[in-house]
Structure 1
Amino acid sequence: MLFKTLRKKEFRNFVELLLANTEVIAPKQIGVNEKGKPIHHYLPVRKFEEIDLDYEITEYSAKSYFLPFRENLSSCHFEDD
């Protein structure tokens, strides 16, 4: 397997290229807890600046975004005749 290391500027360009055509999920600060530590979640971002690359830990794993706790598999609508 080949690995590629990107410099910070190259990484920014790469993410901006992805943002132009696809939905990007990244760690995003959503608030601050009672101790003053930032709270992060994996969420869709629209700009590179929304991504917090200095996060230590997210409140939930990325799995909680990609495999939600509850999901509608189907829905039906009935009309009276």
Structure 2
Amino acid sequence: MSKEEVTKNVWVTTHGDQWAVKIAGSDKISKLFDRKEDALEYAKNLAKKEKTELISQKRNGRINLKNSYGHDSPKTKG
């Protein structure tokens, strides 16, 4: 994958009492939500649009969801 093809994952993480949607590598928050479900829906649409991966964290910081919406390598049967 060339540098031009590098995709930035979409993260759902906490921000105080709210849920933040962020793009990996950016210090800025794309959008804040009161409910995690709303943040996940927004992040899912963004990840699909950008053909990248959606990663979600629990309040304790542990990853609890990973979904890819693009650039998967094909699986080979062995």
Question: TM-score interval w.r.t. the shorter chain?
Answer: under 0.3
TM normalised by structure 1 equals 0.27
| Bigger strand share | 2
